[in-house]
Structure 1
């Protein structure tokens, strides 16, 4: 019997023992709170924009609540020891995103026109995407009895991730847009890079488990850091080159940085060498700076970042950035209130600029609360990984958690002018089905890892 089969048999035997489920009871209480807050945000949005309550939208939100509670039941049956905070946080973030996207859709009559207009059906679409994503996450939790089975297919996931990144270059699949990141099948647009990041996280974790001995056995000390030998740079350079190809060919600075950052973080956890991080940061900064001189669209992003309030740039590249900053300033500390601001004045306020949209209506305090939710989510994921005794599970949990953290940092840093803006989405909040589906898949995998970790002897997570 293989190790995976043996572990699966042990887990099944443990689950047959009827035990109290305090973790699931805690999760249920937090879920009810998350659902209540999401419902409240929708009601306030309707009152602020319409002056009345639309029962149909609340019924649709109620259906989503039932699906989330169904996921909770699946966890009781299949993963009773899974982390109790992950699903409630994901539910609350998704619910706040739905409320804001729906609220923006109510402002159609006030839109200036052109690129500034919002999608009036955005809220309905996001609800549909959420339902599909939650059902898919529940199915993955149910079907994936043991996450270690993913380790068997390390290189298949690596090949799949690369293939997904290549799909937008196929002429009859390309979904259009300035960046070659979308595919269109049957009139449905999808961003394969969102699923690719999960496949590549599995590949990085499996690959480093197999090769970390050679990466950690040797090195040279310099200025207090242990640097690897030159011939060990191969994997890092290959991933860096892949990231640069994405930036150049797909015109997608965000995805390139995200994939490279995920690999460097996983490499550091696998080897414990700070030198890898320093080299990775130098490569990332050097590549971004070089791209800003070679690629016009990257240069435009840097110009908008450095000279956002330059009158010559405001009518073009920095209009979106400056309007988002004005929206945050208008919101102040406590915000204008749900449905009472004007976030629709900023282009793509439902997706790229969902954080400024929220900031205008729930204020700095509300945005800080949202960032705290992300912080807790990432902290739970990292803690789950570090508590595990299985190297593959540890690296996979860290890779997925760090990826989400890096994505939030890149987006929030971009819209607040801390760093140049890139084309990523804010996890769980922003409009878009592919991003939402990928993030709920991450939720499912982290839940599976946390359940297995708690079943292991001496593994305790508070």
Structure 2
């Protein structure tokens, strides 16, 4: 005799609360260790950091219990831990620069402030976004907003060029990188557009060299996305951002159509502009040269950043120099572009792999939400946002380890910078909402409001 029993997903809010507490303890402990390593005493603001982190974690827990009770219990603890570890490392870099008489624009206090803003916006998303399917109504508005944000740095008055790339805007002395917000808008647009045209895009066209090409009538969307990516590459000289947007669209195309040919077509289309940038743009050409041979006598001075980063990686060894014991002051932009190198030096290869594991778990949870959602729009949106995080981590870590050339993207939640941190917290809010929809048992949503779950049939015994 066999018994068939129906199972109901559990909210697991207690699990999330325990993981959040664990993340706060580790993050605040890392902040204390940085002070002990640099100055042989705990930081004077340790109590404020600990209490503030606990309050924000409690606010996240309460709002999730209220608005998204079935959300994935692992996403928020992972992000809180990454954010606090980033603050601790920025504190270490800033302290090292002060000790050795160097100036730095980033500080742990400023990163804490941006972290608070990001958490507040995440809470706003969770409270106001009752149903992720509402975002589909703004498909074309998101496209316009994303395009405007992407091209804002080209406006003469507010556009700002730094380190060879024009990807910043400066208003009243405050700088912002609009591409970080544009990636959210484009993810919403791509999800809304592709879910309504996935059937026609999946139709195979002519076969060339063993690859099924799309029909010519369906080739328009990828050409538009390619044009935007190339505009960013040519006019803003930013290979990383153009790669991120075009890669996001191609990856979402693959998820929508399940056709490997889209990935091949995307790679082929992006290769010629990348070659053009490497040969014709001095900024990109220098990065390519530093990727190929940074230690040669001819390139050493222009490749100082990547060289010092490699030395920092080597100095870390297996277990690292210890928090607050490294020399990140010798690496330019060690708190932003090269923060992974700072971690690897002070935490060693073990700590570096632990960070990558945290990112892997975060991306896996996003993909898990994408698989579990019943509607196509949610699947594409969760998959696209998860891919964006994965691509940024790969591009940044691959750049500082010389797997690929440097691109200028920032490591999510760790690197100093308000634009990236705030926008990534918004992404987390959307992912938490999507994971709630994926795990909610037998739930119906009417006009964006959660309706009571339909009663499940009682377990039946079957002989």
**Pairwise same-fold verdict (TM > 0.5):** yes
Aligned to 2:159, the other structure's residue is in SS state coil
1:111–1:345 CA contact under 8 A, matched in 2: no
Matches within 5 A, 1:187-198: 187-198=173-184
Higher relative contact order, structure no. (Cα contacts within 8 Å, ≥ 6 residues apart): 2
Q: Give the match for residue 279 of structure 2.
A: 293
Out of 259, 262, 274, the position equivalent to 1:273 is 259
* Secondary structure, aligned partner of 1:312: coil
CA contact (8 A) 1:94 1:428 kept: yes
Matching residue of 2:246: 260
Q: Map 1:197-346 onto structure 2 (within 5 A).
A: 197-221=183-207, 225-316=211-302, 318-346=303-331
1:108 equivalent to 2:97? Answer: yes
Task: State TM-score, norm by structure 1.
Answer: 0.91
Higher helix share: 1
CA distance in 1, matches of 2:320, 2:38: 15
SS of residue in 1 equivalent to 2:212: strand
Runs of 4+ in 1 over 6 A off after TM superposition: none
Q: Judging changes above 3 Å, is the alpha-carbon distance between structure 1 residues 312 and 31 closer, same or farther for their aligned structure 2 residues?
A: same
Match of 1:24 among 7, 10, 13: 13
Give the match for residue 419 of structure 2: 434
SS of residue in 1 equivalent to 2:298: helix
User: Structure 1 residues 225 and 456 mapped into 2: Cα distance closer, same or farther (>3 Å)?
Assistant: farther
Find the counterpart in structure 2 of residue 3 from structure 1. none
Q: 2:219 is paired with a residue of what secondary structure?
A: helix
2:79–2:413 contact (8 Å) kept in structure 1:
yes
Conservation of the 8 A alpha-carbon contact between 2:322 and 2:347: yes
How many residues get paired?
436
Q: Secondary structure at the match of 2:318?
A: coil
Bigger strand share: 2
TM-score normalized by the length of structure 2: 0.91
Inter-CA distance 60–250: structure 2 relative to 1 (3 Å threshold): same
Provide structure 1 residue ranges, at least 5 long, that are not aligned to the other structure.
1-18
| Pick aligned residue for 2:123 from 101, 120, 138 | 138
Question: Deviation at 1:225?
Answer: 4.2
| Offset at residue 103 of structure 1 (A) | 1.2
Tell me, which stretches of 5 or more residues in structure 2 are unaligned? 1-7, 445-463
1:418 to 393, 403, 424: 403
RMSD of Structure 2 on Structure 1 (CA): 1.8
Is 1:68 the counterpart of 2:57? The answer is yes
Deviations 1:105-152 (A, max 9, x none): 111334464xxx434x61000010101100110111011111110000
Shift of 1:455: 2.2
Deviations 1:40-92 (A, max 9, x none): 11111000001111232431342133112201110000100011111000001
Alignment check: 8 A CA contact 1:262 1:403 kept: yes
- Following TM superposition, by how much is the alpha carbon of 1:21 offset from its aligned partner in structure 2, in angstroms? 6.1
Question: Any idea what the Cα deviations from partners look like across 1:418-446, whole Å, max 9, x if unmatched?
Answer: 00001110000000011001111110001
Give the equivalent residue in structure 2 for 1:42: 31
Q: Pick which of 224-233 and 391-400 moved more.
A: 224-233
| Equivalent in 37, 41, 57 of residue 52 of structure 1 | 41
1:379 and 2:364 matched: yes
Partner residue of 1:77? 66
- Counterpart position of 1:357: 342
User: Offset at 1:222?
Assistant: 5.3
Q: Given that residues 32 and 46 in structure 2 are in contact (C-alpha distance below 8 angstroms), is that contact kept between their aligned partners in structure 1?
A: no
